[in-house]
Amino acid sequence: MNDSFFVVTVSQMAESSFDKKKGQIGLANLGNTCYLNAVLQCLRHVSDLTLFFRNHSDQWIHDGDAKDATLCKAYKELVQGLWSGTPEGSKPIFLRPAGFVYHFRNSLRGTAVEHMIAPLPHDSHEALVFLLDQLHEGMKRELKVQILAPASSPVHGALTAWKDQVAPQYSPIIDYFFGLMEVRVTCSGCSNISKRYELFNMLKVGFPDFKSATLQECIEDDFKVETIDEYCCDHCTPIRKPATISRKIWRLPHNLIVVVRRFNMNGTKCHAHLKAELNQKFTEWFSPESPESSKTATYGIESIVDHHGSANGGHYTAQVKSPLTGLWNNYDDENVYQIMDGSKPILGQNSYVLFYRRKSS
C-alpha cells in the first residue's frame, strides 16, 4: 500500500523561509468564526498539505465553479496569504479571511451541516470534517490500482478494501489524512470471524467514566471489545447468537487527527483533563497482521484546537508548533503569541482536537 504520493519533509518548508516570523499571522474574527479560525491555523500548519496547495494543487483542483472546487481555490489563496513573509521586527499582523468564509458558508448550502451558515458559535470538529470533505471532493479523480498480493495473503482483504474505497475517488487528502481500520466480529456460537476494513480520517476518543485520563487510557477505552447480544451469523442463521466486536488499526496516515469527545448528547461538556506525550506510538492498537510501516512509527503533536468555556458557549483557539522555529505559538483570532518558552503546548481540560505528524518508523 503506497504510503503517499505527496509527502514532504518539514525541512522543505523551512528551507524556503528567510524570516523566523514567517507564517505567524492571525485571522480576524468575522462574527463568531473563532471555531473556523482555530481549525484553519492548525490545518495550514500541516506541512504536506500546505506545500501541496502552494505547489501542486492547480493540477488537481477541478475546473469550473462547483462549490467544492471553488472552496479549494479559496483555501489555496488563504494559505498563500498566511505564509507570506512579514518584515523583520514588525508587529504581528492578521488577515481578514472574508473571501474564504464566504465560500465556506456557500459550500454549506444544501448539506446536512447547513446550520453553520448562520454567524453563530459552531463546533470546530464539525467544521474540520466538512472542510476536509470539501477539499477532497474538489480534487477527487479515479485512480488505477493493481493488487499484487495473492488472494491467500492475510493482507489481501485490506488491500482490496483500500482499492475499492479509494481508487474510484482518490485525492491527495486520502494520503495526508486517511487510515484504515480493521473491524472483526466473532460469533460466540461457531467462533466464525468476519472481518471488514473501513476508511477513517480521525480517531475519536472519550474519557473513561468522564474522568481525567491520559491519551493512552482514552484510546484503550475506545478500542475495548464490545458485545452484541443478538448477532446474525451466516453460519448460525436463523438462530441469533452473542458476538464480540473488536477494532484494530491497519494503517495510519502521515497526519493523524485525534478528536477528544468533549460534548455530550445531553448538551453538557466534559471538562476532564487530558494528558498526552508529545511523541506517541500507536503500535499496541494495530492489527497483528498489519505490515504497514505506520505500525511502528512515532507521531508527534504539531497543533491543537482548544475549546474554552461550556457547551452552550465559549471560545476556540489553536496551539501550533512552528515548522520554521520548532517553537509553540498560540493563535487567538487576530492575536499570535509564544506559549511560555515555546518548548511545549499546554494540554488539559481545553484540549479538543490534536493534530499528529508522523516522524519516523
- CA dist 195 and 177 (Å) reads 23
Radius of gyration of the chain (CA): 21
Q: Residue 72 falls within a domain, yes or no? A: yes
- CA dist 79 and 71 (Å) reads 12
DSSP letters, 269-301, are: B----EE--SEEE-GGGB-TT---GGGS-EEEE
Q: Residue 146 falls within a domain, yes or no? A: yes
- CA dist 68 and 137 (Å) reads 6
CB 322 within 8 A of CB 24: yes
Tell the burial category of 31 from Cβ atoms under 10 Å away from its Cβ (0-12, 13-18, 19+). Answer: exposed
CA distances from 98 to 41, 74, 101, 182, 296 (A): 15, 10, 5, 41, 42
- Read off the pTM: 0.91
Domain that holds residue 244: 10-360
Percent of the chain with pLDDT over 70: 92
pLDDT at site 5: 45
Q: Residue 2 falls within a domain, yes or no? A: no
- Residue partners of 234: CB distance under 8 A and separation at least 6: 192, 194
Here the CATH number for the domain that contains residue 303 is 3.90.70.10
- CA dist 84 and 88 (Å) reads 12
pLDDT at site 174: 96
- pLDDT, one tens digit per residue, over 228-278 is 998 888 888 888 889 999 999 999 999 999 999 999 888 899 999 999 999
- Residue partners of 30: CB distance under 8 A and separation at least 6: 96, 97, 98, 101, 119
pLDDT at site 21: 76
Q: Residue 87 falls within a domain, yes or no? A: yes
| Number of domains making up the chain | 1
Q: Residue 3 falls within a domain, yes or no? A: no
- pLDDT, one tens digit per residue, over 199-218 is 999 999 999 988 999 999 99
Which segments in the chain show pLDDT lower than 70? 1-20, 85-92, 361
Q: Residue 106 falls within a domain, yes or no? A: yes
CB 132 within 8 A of CB 104: no
E strands along 102-206, which residues?
Answer: 179-187, 193-200, 203-205
Q: Residue 110 falls within a domain, yes or no? A: yes
pLDDT at site 230: 86
Helix (H, G, I), strand (E, B) or coil at 72: helix
Q: Residue 275 falls within a domain, yes or no? A: yes
